[in-house]
Amino acid sequence: MDPIKDEEVESRKVTLNLQKKKLGINKLLIFDLDETLAHCVRQETPENKPDIHLDIKLANGKVLKAGFNVRPHTYEMLEELNKYYEIAVFTAS
């Protein structure tokens, strides 16, 4: 595999304008939602029921019913880290 050229990296950069929300907290933790904090349930079965159901409206107007399982200890981890850091969550999905 060929190395990625600097021009390619530069063309894919994204600039975020995140506003501080918490006074006295100067550090930011960024988590990727998809496959890190949650896992998409591709096919729901009685043995594999999602923790959360979301209706996602697609560009064509159709609604996709998506199911997600939250990774173990995610809520507790975010709650504890929130005491010391500003938390941001993103997804490319």
Residue 14 forms part of a structural domain: no
Residue 61 forms part of a structural domain: yes
**Residue 74 neighbours by CB under 8 Å, 6+ apart:** 37, 38
pTM: 0.65
Residue 67 forms part of a structural domain: yes
Helices marked H in 17-86 — which ranges? 74-81
Residue 2 forms part of a structural domain: no
Q: What percent of the chain has pLDDT over 70?
A: 99
pLDDT on residue 86 = 93
How many domains in the chain? 1
pLDDT on residue 46 = 85
**Average confidence (pLDDT) over 9-18:** 81
In this predicted model, what pLDDT tens digit does every residue of 41-84 receive, in sequence order?
Answer: 878 888 888 999 989 898 999 998 889 999 999 999 999 999 99
Q: What percent of the chain has pLDDT over 90?
A: 32
Q: Note down the domain range covering 30.
A: 26-90
Residue 19 forms part of a structural domain: no
Confidence band of 93 (pLDDT split at 50, 70, 90): low
Residue 8 forms part of a structural domain: no
Residue 1 forms part of a structural domain: no
